[in-house]
C-alpha cells in the first residue's frame, strides 16, 4: 500500500486496501475490515473499475453479515452482484469464461440470499438464489430459442412472483439452496403463495463438502460401482487413449426379491419431510431444482411413490416451457448403439447389449439404428438436428458424460485422436437440436463437474443448451439386463401416450417389484432433466439410408 501511494498507483492502492480488509476479516476485526473495504470502494468508483467495486462491496457485505447487520449486508451484496453482472456482460458468448467468472463470485450470491433469509425476506431470498443459478445455460437458451431477454423480467420484478412467473409452473416445484447440511426449501405451486421451510441432512459437518460426502456414502451402500452390476461397462476413462479395453462382467449372484432399507432416508427426512404436509401432488409429479451435489441425488430412491424430474433453474425451466410447441420436432429418431472402437490405440470392446438395446427400440419405432462402423461421429452429428428423438447407447466418460463414437474415416495420425471420435460438450452445443427427448443410455451420462451456481457441467447440460427439451440420463454404471428391461418398458409406455416422467416412473416400479432387479442400483440411476414431454410414435418415421 505504501509503495502504491508513493508511486501514485491509485488502483494498486485500492487493491491493497481490499487485501488488508480481507486479512482483518480473517482475524475477525470486522468493523476495521469494513473501513478498509470502504477505502477500496472509493478508489474503485473513482477509477471506474467495476470488478474492484464488486470486490469492495462484497467485502463490506461480508463484514456486516458477521456483525449481524443483515439488512445492510444484503444491500452491499446486491451492489456487488450488480457490479459483477456488468463485468460478466463483457464476456459475450464465451461459456467457459462465464462459468469460471460465476464460480469466482459464488460467495457474493450466497451471501445475498443468506442475508435476506436472516431478515425474513423469503421471496426476495428465493429470487436472489435463482438469479445466480445456471446463468450461462440461460444465456444459451435465449440465443438457441431466439427468445427476448424481457422474459427474464419475471425473475427480477417481485410484483411478478404470483401473477406471472410462479403461477405458470406446470408442476409443484421444490427450489433447494444448500448451506452446509442445512437445506433451504421453497415450495412453489400454481396459484399459491410460496412456502418456505428448512431441513437438515444428517451428515458429517467436518467434511469439506458434507452433502457430497453423505451422498457418496449412500451410493456406496447400494453398491453402484461397475463391479457390482452385470455390466459390459459403458464407462469411458478421462483419457480416451487409456480406456478400459474389455467388457467388465459383474460377479454378483442376483438374489430373490426382498424388502429394502432406504439408504437415502436422510435425504427424505432433510428435504421431503419438512414440506410433506403442504405438498399437494397432482398427476404431473414433482419438479426439483437441486443445488450443488444434490444434482447427483437419485430422487426416485429418496421418494419412490411420486415421479420426479429436475431442472437446472426456475428460469431455464420457464424458458424451455415458453418455446412454441412446434419448435421441437415430432418426427424422426436417431438411435445409436455399440459404435465400433477397435481402431483406437487401446481398443474399446464391443457393447453387444447396447446394440441389442437400440435394435429393440428400433423395432418399436419401426426405424433403423446406427451401429458398429456406421455410428461415426460425423454421421451422428449430421443427424442430431433433424430428429425429434435421440437415443445413444455407448461408452460414456465417467466425469463429463462425453460419448465415444466410431472414429471418422480419414484421420491423419497413426491412431484416431479425441477429435475424431469423442462427442464432446462443445460438439453437442454447436448442433442446434430440435429434439423433444434425448436418452443417454451410457454409464454416468448424468455426471459432470459441479459448478458453483451453474450446476452440473456435463454432456446432459450440453444437450439442453443445444436445444433439447428434455434429457434422460444415468447417474452411475447401469446393469445391462436391467437397462434392457427398463428401456423396453419405457418406450412401450411412451408409445401408449404417457409422458416421459410417467414412463420412467412406471418402468422403475416394474423393476422395483421384480425378483431380479429390485435393488436400488438397478432401477434408481435413471433421471429426467428438463420438460415432461410426450412422443408421437405414430408420426416417427424411419431414418433414411
Strands 308-310 and 286-289 come out as: parallel
Asked which of 83, 114, 132 is the last residue of a domain, the reply is 132
213 assigned to some structural domain: no
288 assigned to some structural domain: no
DSSP class of residue 376 equals B
Could you tell me the sign of the dihedral formed by the alpha carbons of 342, 347, 348, 349, in that order?
Answer: positive
Q: What is the mean pLDDT of residues 371-382?
A: 95
Asked which of 113, 132, 151 is the last residue of a domain, the reply is 132
For the chain, what is the mean pLDDT?
86
User: Domain limits at 383?
Assistant: 323-539
270 assigned to some structural domain: no
CATH number at residue 70: 1.25.40.10
26 assigned to some structural domain: yes
Asked which of 87, 115, 132 is the last residue of a domain, the reply is 132
Q: What is the mean pLDDT of residues 315-340?
A: 90
495 assigned to some structural domain: yes
38 assigned to some structural domain: yes
Q: Which pLDDT score, from 0 to 100, does residue 283 have?
A: 65
Confidence class of residue 151 from pLDDT cuts 50, 70 and 90?
low
* Stretch among 96-100, 121-125, 188-192, 463-467 having the lowest mean pLDDT: 188-192
CATH number at residue 521: 3.40.50.1460
Q: Which long-range contacts (CB under 8 A, 24 or more apart) does 405-411 make?
A: 405/336, 405/339, 405/375, 405/376, 405/377, 405/380, 406/339, 406/340, 406/341, 406/372, 406/373, 406/374, 406/375, 406/376, 406/377, 407/341, 407/343, 407/344, 407/376, 407/377, 408/376, 408/377, 408/378, 409/376
Q: How many domains does one find in the chain?
A: 2
Q: Write out pLDDT tens, residues 378-390.
A: 999 999 999 999 9
DSSP class of residue 278 equals G
Cell of 69: 447487520
Confidence class of residue 248 from pLDDT cuts 50, 70 and 90?
very low
396 assigned to some structural domain: yes
412 assigned to some structural domain: yes
| pTM assigned to the model | 0.89
Q: Write out pLDDT tens, residues 391-409.
A: 999 998 888 889 999 998 8
Amino acid at each position: 500500500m505504501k509503495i502504491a501511494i508513493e508511486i501514485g498507483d491509485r488502483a494498486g492502492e485500492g487493491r491493497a486496501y481490499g487485501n488488508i480488509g480481507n486479512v482483518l476479516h480473517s482475524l475477525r476485526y470486522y468493523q476495521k475490515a469494513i473501513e478498509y473495504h470502504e477505502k477500496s470502494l472509493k478508489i474503485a468508483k473513482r477509477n471506474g473499475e467495476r470488478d474492484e467495486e464488486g470486490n469492495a462491496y462484497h467485502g463490506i457485505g461480508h463484514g456486516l453479515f458477521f456483525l449481524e447487520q443483515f439488512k445492510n449486508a444484503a444491500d452491499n451484496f446486491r451492489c456487488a452482484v450488480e457490479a459483477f453482472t456488468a463485468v460478466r456482460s463483457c464476456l459475450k458468448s464465451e461459456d467457459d469464461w462465464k462459468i469460471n467468472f460465476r464460480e469466482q463470485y459464488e460467495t457474493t450470491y450466497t451471501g445475498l440470499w443468506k442475508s435476506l433469509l436472516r431478515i425474513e425476506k423469503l421471496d426476495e431470498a428465493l429470487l436472489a438464489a435463482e438469479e445466480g443459478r445456471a446463468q450461462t445455460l440461460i444465456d444459451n437458451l435465449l440465443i438457441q430459442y431466439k427468445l427476448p431477454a424481457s422474459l427474464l423480467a419475471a425473475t427480477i420484478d417481485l410484483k411478478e412472483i404470483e401473477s406471472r412467473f410462479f403461477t405458470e409452473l406446470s408442476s409443484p416445484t421444490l427450489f433447494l439452496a444448500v448451506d452446509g447440511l442445512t437445506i433451504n426449501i421453497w415450495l412453489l405451486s400454481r396459484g399459491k403463495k410460496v412456502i418456505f421451510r428448512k431441513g437438515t441432512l444428517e451428515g458429517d459437518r467436518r467434511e469439506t463438502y458434507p452433502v457430497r460426502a453423505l451422498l457418496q456414502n449412500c451410493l456406496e451402500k447400494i453398491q453402484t460401482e461397475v463391479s457390482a452390476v452385470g455390466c459390459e461397462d459403458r464407462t469411458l476413462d478421462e483419457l480416451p487413449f487409456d480406456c478400459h479395453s474389455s467388457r467388465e462382467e459383474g460377479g454378483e449372484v442376483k438374489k430373490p426379491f426382498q424388502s429394502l432399507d432406504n439408504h437415502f432416508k436422510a435425504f427424505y427426512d432433510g428435504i421431503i419431510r419438512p414440506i410433506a404436509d403442504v405438498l399437494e401432488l397432482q398427476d404431473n409429479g414433482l419438479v426439483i431444482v437441486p443445488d450443488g451435489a444434490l444434482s447427483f441425488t437419485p430422487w426416485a430412491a429418496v421418494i419412490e411413490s411420486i415421479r420426479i424430474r429436475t431442472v437446472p433453474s426456475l428460469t431455464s425451466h420457464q424458458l424451455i416451457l415458453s418455446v412454441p410447441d412446434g419448435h421441437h420436432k415430432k418426427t424422426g429418431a436417431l438411435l445409436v448403439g455399440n459404435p465400433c472402437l477397435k481402431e483406437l490405440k487401446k481398443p474399446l470392446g464391443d457393447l453387444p447389449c447396447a446394440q441389442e438395446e437400440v435394435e429393440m427400440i428400433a423395432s418399436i419405432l419401426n426405424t433403423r439404428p446406427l451401429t458398429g462402423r456406421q455410428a461415426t461421429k460425423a454421421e451422428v452429428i449430421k443427424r442430431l438436428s433433424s430428429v425429434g428423438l435421440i437415443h445413444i447407447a455407448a461408452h460414456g466418460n465417467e466425469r463429463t458424460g462425453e460419448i465415444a463414437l466410431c472414429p471418422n474415416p480419414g484421420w491423419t495420425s497413426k491412431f484416431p485422436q479425441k477429435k475424431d471420435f469423442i462427442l464432446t460438450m462443445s460438439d453437442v452445443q454447436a448442433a442446434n437440436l430440435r429434439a423433444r427427448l434425448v436418452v443417454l443410455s451410457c454409464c454416468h451420462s448424468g455426471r459432470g463437474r459441479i459448478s458453483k451456481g451453474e450446476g452440473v457441467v456435463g454432456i446432459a447440460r450440453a444437450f439442453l443448451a443445444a436445444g433439447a427439451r428434455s434429457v434422460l440420463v444415468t447417474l452411475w454404471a447401469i446393469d445391462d439386463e436391467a437397462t434392457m428391461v427398463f428401456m423396453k418398458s419405457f418406450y412401450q409406455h411412451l408409445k401408449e401416450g404417457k409422458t416421459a416422467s410417467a414412463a420412467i416412473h412406471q418402468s422403475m416400479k416394474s423393476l422395483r417389484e421384480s425378483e431380479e432387479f429390485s435393488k436400488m442400483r438397478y432401477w434408481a440411476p435413471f433421471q429426467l432433466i428438463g420438460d415432461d414431454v410426450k412422443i408421437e410414435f405414430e408420426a416417427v418415421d424411419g431414418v433414411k439410408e
